[in-house]
Copies of this chain bind each other. A is one copy, B any other.
Amino acid sequence: MPLSPEQQAEIDALRANPQPTLRTVAPGMEAHLYRAHQVLDHGFVRVIDYMGDDAAITQAARVSYGKGTKSVQNDEGLIRYLMRHWHSTPFEMCEIKLHVKLPVFVARQWIRHRTANVNEYSARYSILDREFYIPQPDALAAQSSVNNQGRGEVLTGAEAERVLEILKSDAGRSYDHYEEMLSQDGQQGLARELARMNLPANIYTQWYWKVDLHNLFHFLRLRADAHAQYEIRVYADTICNVVKDWVPAAYGAFEDYRMGGATLSSKAIDCLRRMLKGEKVTQETSGMSKGEWREFSEVVG
């Protein structure tokens, strides 16, 4: 990124020729098709295809629940009801296909979401490009002292400079050596499937990723969360903005019940009821561990 003139021309060509279809069309999504949303320094997310819209969710629910759904007055109300009661199958009736370019260490987290279809660029068949993720200065954070998997303050001064210098020079040298090992100029040339092992985890890869809306929401709940690693969260945030335009009612319900919601344990519910009756509850009298009490306190404000 930015896109090469050839890539932009290809996208423009794909966007120039709408064709008639009898399928459901989601106007908000058509505006996104093929366009590259930049993420990090060289990454992107592009919508390649989609199936369904908000109405496809309620249509499937009405097959299932028949006359039973008449009591819910309208589509948005029904979608909110389905989300609230964890009815997952109607949301599975929508599907999205994305083209994503992302650093390998992000891809390794992402792929753990198993219920999706993936075609990744293969470094056995092909040669990877010289593109590495180098964090912006404000993303260069120290290890958190309170959270084993978190970040603390942003690095400053000479330390930040040293880190950036290391990341850049190691990536460059590794790639120079990758090319040198592959070269068939005056030598045999190492197999691509072996040479790639020299490349660091911040090199970019790309894939097509296809997933249904239910599983996408599950991905977004975990990866657009404040505890997710920043470098995958920016991808999730970008996808959230796309989904909001695609299925606005479902996304609204997702925001309310999942992203902005919280799960309380039976102990927490018990404390809550005591507090609502006017009791002053502390961690000691709550029956909760310190960690759980801290999280509970954040919920009740």
Contact = CB atoms under 8 A, between A and B. Distances in A.
Interface of A: 14-15, 17-25, 30, 33-34, 49-52, 56, 59-61, 63-69, 71, 77, 80-81, 84, 86, 89-90, 92-93, 95, 97, 99, 103-105, 108, 111-112, 114-115, 117-122, 124-127, 133, 135, 140-144, 148-153, 155, 159, 162-163, 166-167, 170-171, 173-174, 177, 180-182, 184, 187-194, 196-202, 206-208, 210, 212, 222, 229, 255-257, 259-269, 272-273, 275-276, 289, 291-292, 295, 299-301
A170 B189 contact: no
B291 A81 contact: yes
24 contacts: A19-B20, A20-B20, A21-B30, A66-B122, A93-B117, A104-B108, A135-B194, A141-B194, A150-B191, A151-B191, A151-B193, A159-B188, A166-B180, A170-B198, A197-B200, A199-B201, A261-B268, A261-B269, A263-B264, A269-B299, A269-B301, A272-B299, A272-B300, A273-B300
Chain copies in complex:
4
Contacts of A206: 63
B21 A142 contact: no
A50 B23 contact: yes
Given A256-B267, A257-B263, A201 B202 contact: no
A105 B200 contact: no
A167 B67 CA distance: 26
Contacts of A192: 143, 149
Contacts of A295: 84
Given A143-B190, A174-B200, A34 B50 contact: no
Nearest to A221: B86
A267 B77 CA distance: 15
